[in-house]
Chain A
Amino acid sequence: MNWTEFLYYTGWVAMIPCLAAGIWRIAKGPTTLDRMIGFDLLTISVVALMVLFSVHEGTGEYLELIIIVTALSFFSTVAFFYYLAQLPAEEGELAPVETEDKA
């Protein structure tokens, strides 16, 4: 087992907490913006996993895919912001949650 092989599995060990943190933040987040932060973390973690897989396979074939996935995640985030900016101010889940006052 050389260094690259060792780093591939270490990378999986390091990236699974990133995916878990994103899913946990999507499930738990008090406001909609927290859930969008979790979504952003998930997409960029997927991009990092693509980089790790490319290093493991030794090919540069997936670089276009990395660029396209980054652009798609950014466009979906911007579309969500465009939707959120049109809502009235104190409506929906963006209103602050009262249970956080004692934190």
Chain B
Amino acid sequence: MNLFVDGLGVLFLAGGLFFMLVTAIGVMRLPDVYCRAHAVGKAMTLGIILLLIGFGLLVEGAAWWKIALAIGFQVATIPVASHLFCLVAYKKKVKRWSARGWVRD
């Protein structure tokens, strides 16, 4: 049973690290402010949630309500920051990338 819980925690940690790498590749490679904000807002939230769940499964002394509070903080802050990036970029008329080329809304 303990081995099962540890293996599950290791799997969650590996998934979280994979999604953090996806975020790094997205921020480096995507062409646009909007696309980069999308990469940060989605992949990074999922990665940090998986990391915190794996942390709660692997460490005995961690209280579950504190981990739930940390996950709630991440879920409350990262997508809000991502939406604020897109809102300010849209209000300042930053050009966006599309399949036809660079467009200014």
Interface contact tally, CB-CB below 8 A: 147
List, in ascending order, chain B residues with CB within 8 A of A25's CB.
Answer: 27-28, 36
Shortest beta-carbon distance from A20 to chain B in Å? 8
Q: List 29 A-B contacts (CB under 8 A).
A: A3-B6, A4-B6, A4-B58, A7-B10, A10-B14, A14-B20, A17-B21, A21-B24, A24-B28, A25-B27, A41-B23, A41-B40, A44-B40, A45-B20, A48-B48, A52-B51, A60-B61, A60-B66, A63-B63, A63-B70, A71-B73, A77-B81, A85-B91, A89-B93, A90-B93, A94-B94, A96-B94, A96-B104, A101-B102
Q: Given A14-B20, A31-B94, A51-B51, do A41 and B14 touch, yes or no (CB 8 Å)?
A: no
A57→B77 CA distance, assembly (Å): 27
Q: Mark out the residues of chain A between 14 and 69 whose CB falls within 8 Å of any chain B CB in the assembled complex.
A: 14-15, 17-18, 20-22, 24-25, 31, 33-34, 36-38, 40-41, 44-45, 47-48, 51-52, 54-55, 58-60, 63-64, 66-67
Q: Dominant SS at the B interface?
A: helix
Whether B48 and A3, one on each chain, are in contact in the complex, defined by CB atoms closer than 8 angstroms, is: no
Contacts A37-B33, A96-B102 given; 9 further ones with Cβ under 8 A? A22-B27, A41-B44, A44-B40, A55-B54, A64-B66, A81-B88, A84-B88, A84-B92, A94-B94
